[in-house]
Chain A
């Protein structure tokens, strides 16, 4: 009780320092007066009595100190005063302070934002109960390297066989596809439907928020029921809970809505609604690819599960497939891991540079104040007290920088969210949560204390010997070499990052200038889905009507977007040839397709309206087809037998390859859409004269009038689609490049500070040389030479480190080798020239002042 009272009282006294001080001063005065009274009574003179009184008391100031100690928390009080002092010192040299604080703000801001993203994407558990029991199961026909085949899918047979494994508590398979959804009173729209096999929701451990999940009999029998995703439910049913029980049609088949999932459920990532797989789906030979998730039994490890899967695969029918399971989260984020790790690594390097900058500023200050520190030491300040004071100063700086940094982090995070590619899972939900803020604070305090301690300890020598030299002009850094070590480290780090920035920058340039094999500008695609039936006439009408729109150059139809090179596979054989058939991609297109896409025709002719259903079957092949299947020989006139089409085709033309985002094309066989029976999903490709967005609405209306009932919600410029397909690469490259650029800027600032500090530290020497008659050129060279050597050494270390590290980021580089010579030469050149300019500038300042003046101020 009394201890608590005392604590409260001491705490309160922190805030009423002046009042307590006044009161005690008054009390002490009386005490001294009473003592003096007594000594005077004993016959001392007034002056003697006063001296004696102070002696008996034990010193007025000392007593006050004792009193302060007892009545409050002295260390907090000290801290308070040190902080005030630190702020005054920062104001005294605002430029250095600004460099340090802004560097810190940038470093801490970037780090917290990137750490938040990395934490969210790579470290945070999936939003399901016991997320580490969840695994993805992969399967492949042949032994492939697991890391290189993250997307290996299962066949329905695989699922039946492996889903039963004893290691799994439950399992489910699914496949997704874009279908046409019609809800009553709404235009038809495209929606990504996940068809599920097994209880996916139960395996994950999620349940609908409204309505119910699928029943076992619905799942096994493939009942016509669906569960809606939150987003779709809001769009199509305006978030109305009575949506449950209503009917929707998917590709013309009617389903009953039984539930709505919670907003945070996105699995599989793009799915908008889920329905059980029907027996028809299962019989459909096209649905050969499933993704599988499973929940491990309690106490079963991933290794045990994999052993069981391997045994099952081995015992199965030939040809044997290999099967393995991997942690669900790891499997889902696999493709972004490298990018994020590179990002984190570059921000950490940025932080290192920031630390070097702050250390440089702090040690420059400590250097300037060596004299002051020595005097304080001589007057009896303890080392602990001096160290605390210096550390407080860097801590104040760090905290200011940290506070700004968290603001910067918030802002950076918004930027990151805006730039985030579609493929980066769950990024929209990432925030700077208290843990990240705590990490930021820890980082700040660690840097503040760590960087503050460095010069503080160096100053011990000075503070401990308060004699002649410390009060004079001896500067600690000249002897210690700490500054030089900093220059070296800084130069090395900066060069490493500049090499990184250069590589990524060049790679980004390659990405922008990449050859797609077709022109994506002014190209817009409408995603059309038909409910079966013969749509050939409809497509012809649609193409003609579209081509008639003002501003349209040409229009064509194709079963695939040019941004996808995969598609319908077929085995094909040269007519009359023996040997095994080769695989090719079948691409049904309309006439004028290559014209609309701007794909050059290399030989022969294009398709025309004359290549109709009744005309002889023809085909156009691409370069890869000619090279891989026809052995590079002349293709026009060759007769081919594709297995899916039965009748032989005559090749009438050769076109260039499609290389969307720089990916190589596959061997492709283009056939006239009229000559194959088509249905389902088709794309209308339209090349416009101006911005394709301008005709978006007109195009939509035209399609509705020609083909009523076709969903027209997906009419997107092809350039955007192309962008999305390489957005992850672009995102990480852009970010890493801009971070590395920032790092270069920071280290240039830092190198400037350090090198000019080095020159300033040698002002006296330089001044003496000049005063003794050295030519300015000679004197300058004497100072600049060691700086240049130091920078060059640092740069060499940087280049060497970059050569070691760069190959691990090869997957982020496009068309640039990790040991790209121009980059490796440019990076150190930039830094060394910045450093030498700094040295020259700093020296010029000295020459300007004049040696005599300089020596006087020393």
Chain B
């Protein structure tokens, strides 16, 4: 089944590309994490109780890994389960800085335009 016909059931709607930015940021702050932990972290960060469609995290992880910005490795969790942990790479750190910069410039432009009515 093609993805286009899936109902847009994500409970959080993020701007395209922002999910990758968030994942990179979480990995910088928290160190290596598995997908479930990353998803939980995003849900906790929301102001109101929110559930993320956790599966939608995976395409972002694949893209980041294929770009060489994060690296996955199998490790044992504290509950003694084997899980795939993703850690940010040096290239990822550099990319994060650049992406954050870009994000800030574009959001500040959008903010300015949204708040400058009537000028």
Contact = CB atoms under 8 A, between A and B. Distances in A.
Contacts of B35: 27, 31
A27 B84 contact: yes
B54 A5 contact: no
A602 B90 CA distance: 109
Interface in B1-20: 1-6, 9-10
Q: Which 6 A-B pairs have the closest CB atoms?
A: A63-B55, A70-B59, A2-B67, A58-B55, A58-B53, A70-B62
Nearest to B35: A31
**Among B6, B35, B54, B56: residue with most chain A CB under 10 A:** B54
A207 B3 CA distance: 67
A844 interface: no
14 contacts: A2-B69, A6-B63, A6-B67, A30-B34, A31-B35, A34-B34, A34-B79, A35-B36, A56-B53, A58-B55, A63-B58, A66-B58, A70-B58, A381-B1
Given A6-B66, A70-B59, A30 B54 contact: no
A63 B84 CA distance: 16
A464 interface: no
A385 B67 CA distance: 29
Given A2-B95, A58-B56, A70-B58, A65 B66 contact: no
Given A2-B69, A5-B66, A34-B36, A69 B84 contact: no
A66 B56 contact: yes
Contacts of B3: 65-66, 69
A5 B55 contact: no
A30 B3 CA distance: 24
Nearest to B72: A27
Interface string B41-72: 00000000001011110111011001111000
A59 to B, nearest CB: 7
A94 B66 CA distance: 43
Interface in A40-72: 56-59, 62-63, 65-67, 69-71
Contact of B55 (A34, A57, A382): A57
B62 A30 contact: no
Contact of A382 (B5, B51, B56, B77): B5
B67 A5 contact: yes
Contact of A71 (B66, B69, B83, B95): B66
A384 B84 CA distance: 36
Nearest to A37: B79
Contacts of B51: 56
Contact of B68 (A2, A34, A56, A381): A2
A854 to B, nearest CB: 37
Contacts of B59: 66-67, 69-70
A10 B66 contact: yes
Contacts of B60: 70
A380 interface: yes
A170 B65 CA distance: 71
Interface in B62-119: 62-63, 66-69, 77, 79, 81-84, 91, 95
A3 interface: yes
A586 to B, nearest CB: 87
- Report the interface size class on chain A: 20 to 34
A428 B67 CA distance: 55
A269 interface: no
Interface residues of B, number: 33
A69 B66 CA distance: 13
Nearest to B68: A5
Contacts of B54: 31, 35, 56-58
A705 interface: no
A67 B1 contact: no
Contacts of B10: 58
A382 B6 CA distance: 11
A10 B59 CA distance: 12
Contacts of A24: 58
A825 interface: no
A774 to B, nearest CB: 47
B54 to A, nearest CB: 5
B98 to A, nearest CB: 11
B86 to A, nearest CB: 10
Contacts of A10: 66
Contacts of A66: 3, 55-56, 58-59
A345 interface: no
A62 B66 contact: no
Contacts of B34: 30-31, 34
Contacts of B5: 380, 382
B63 to A, nearest CB: 6
A142 B51 CA distance: 98
Contacts of B53: 56-58
A9 interface: yes
Contact of B36 (A6, A31, A67): A31
B100 to A, nearest CB: 16
Nearest to B92: A2
Contacts of B56: 58, 63, 66
B43 to A, nearest CB: 10
A121 to B, nearest CB: 50
A376 to B, nearest CB: 10
A24 B35 CA distance: 12
A33 interface: yes
A853 B101 CA distance: 75
A538 to B, nearest CB: 92
A71 B67 CA distance: 11
B84 A30 contact: yes
B80 to A, nearest CB: 11
B82 A30 contact: yes
Nearest to B60: A70
Nearest to B6: A62
Contacts of B81: 30, 33-34
Nearest to B10: A58
Contacts of A30: 34, 36, 81-84
B87 to A, nearest CB: 15
Interface string A365-395: 0000000000000001110110000000000
A380 B59 CA distance: 22
B5 to A, nearest CB: 6
Nearest to A23: B84
Contacts of A33: 81
B58 A34 contact: no
Nearest to B55: A63
A158 to B, nearest CB: 75
A71 B61 CA distance: 10
Contacts of A34: 34, 36, 77, 79, 81, 83
Contacts of A67: 58-59, 62
Contacts of A31: 34-36, 54, 83
A24 B59 CA distance: 11
Nearest to B91: A2
B63 A70 contact: yes
Contacts of A70: 58-60, 62-63
A455 B105 CA distance: 52
B4 A382 contact: yes
A248 to B, nearest CB: 75
A199 B93 CA distance: 77
Contacts of A35: 36, 54
A524 to B, nearest CB: 77
Given A58-B9, A66-B3, 12 more contacts: A2-B69, A2-B91, A30-B36, A30-B83, A31-B35, A34-B79, A34-B83, A56-B51, A62-B6, A70-B60, A381-B1, A382-B5
